Amino acid sequence: MKSYLLVPKESIETEARVGPRGTQQGERVLPRTTALRFAVANRAPDALSSLGMRSATLPGPRPPVSGEEARKRVAKGSRIKRPTTRGADATIPPLPGAPVTEQTGSEAGSFRFMPLIGATMAHFYSEATEAEARGELANDFEFIPDVVPLSFPGPVSAGQSGPRNRGMSSLAQREWPDESGVPLAHAQGIRGAGVLLGVLDTGVDADHPEHTARVIQFRYVSLFPNSPHNPARDIRGFDPDGHGTHVCGIAAGTHHGVAPEVDLYVASVIESETIRTSLGRVAAGMEWLLHQFSSPQNVTRPAVVNLSLGFPLKPPPGISEADYRLNQRALQTMIRRLLDSNVLPVVAAGNSGPDTVGYPAAFEESLAVGAVDFERNVAHFSASGVVERRVVPDVMGYGVNVYSSTERRCNNQAFYERMSGTSMAAPYVAGIAALYRCRAPDLTALEVRDLILANAVKLPRSNGHRTGKGLAVFR
């Protein structure tokens, strides 16, 4: 089986047009719209369906596509030969310890049309089907192989680990310093209410005391997110790793969160064992977030998305430079879709230190976040650099020994832990963004980004490190 993300070439090279918005002062209406009506976007599901591939489009039925009647006529003809036997990947079950393979059926392959990010994920069970699809679509679509692993910048040691603490909270008070503006915002009743916060991570423990008081919309995105045989599902939030729970606690925890009253949407896209994910899983998670954010009850509400994941700095062994660049461009296209939809993407810069910055932090569409400690010292691990004249990070957040929720034991004892990393700084900044969007919900995502940068506290020069506009605070 080979997997590809099919993205219209014009959508990779061209920014989508922002949809209509009200302009009357005091009555600015900001409906969420991707406006991704590229001329050829709907051709992919049409063509793949005509080849006998099975649609796994979720949530809901596959949207109507252009040329439906023509497709049906082609399907009835003799030009397309539909496979009648199971794909090779499914004939023999995997042996213990062998790579996990997708369960397949008798169809030629499967696909999922993801209209909100303007892409189609396709799984080909035979080379013949892939060749036919390329013949139909290669002129208008990039076939981006889903082969480059993404991973989050895992927590790092910062000289203080701190014991894990049992119970709801062992801290007498919240840690956010006065200079952060968080205590002032909370005193003024600005706590993130009305704002949508999306998180792509390892998941979230919805029954941890830091999160159990709210309903968390949660989707587990499986290893094969676009397969009709392994459908994605919305269930009670869980997190076998603890990283995602820690991230959610920083941004939105009931007791320690920067913006504790946001509505939380979490997609589990990263495996706890490998801390890796794939472009397909990220695409499926992002499509689900935008689907949730675009529902009738949410379409005009401000939104922020936190991402603590990225590509390695260079193509991994066995991955060609061309495939690596295609994956990189596809991820940038997805980040751009968030901005097109009035969603602010907040991205961890990485934990590899100075002069080591990767993607998506280096994309101009991202609000890239580095890490400082509570004394404003830049963390030694905080990634920074210059990529095509873009200075990364844009802004800094508290990311050293940050206290937040992690996990629960079998006897239901809840644990909190101090972790360090730009993965901790990013949700702090995402929380700050949520406070700004709570206070002024009519501001666009770009306007909120500019507000964060304009109000940042300048930091003294650091040997070797770049610190962007300084420490993100709420003012």
CA gap 404, 214 in Å, rounded: 17
DSSP string, 20-55: ----STT------------TTTTHHHHHHHHTTPEE
First to last CA, the chain: 52
CA gap 110, 48 in Å, rounded: 8
Q: For residue 13, give the DSSP letter.
A: H
User: Catalytic site residues?
Assistant: 201, 243, 423
- A 10 A CB-CB count for 209 gives 18
DSSP, collapsed to helix, strand or coil, labels residue 462 as strand
Half-sphere CA count of 36, side-chain side, radius 13 A: 27
Q: Do the beta carbons of residue 168 and residue 255 sit within 8 Å? A: yes
Element housing 427 (H / E)? helix 422-439
Of 349, 370, 275, the C-alpha closest to 307 is 349
Q: Helix H segments across 87-232?
A: 127-137, 182-187
Q: Which residues contact 105 (CB under 8 A, 6 or more apart)?
A: 54, 86, 87, 90, 228, 229
CA gap 119, 250 in Å, rounded: 32
Q: Quick one: the chain helix, strand, coil %, rounded to 5?
A: 25, 20, 55
Dihedral angle sign, alpha carbons of residues 116, 118, 121, 122: positive
What is the residue whose two structure tokens read 């099975």?
A: 54
Q: In terms of DSSP bridges, do strands 263-268 and 196-201 run parallel, antiparallel, or are they unpaired?
A: parallel
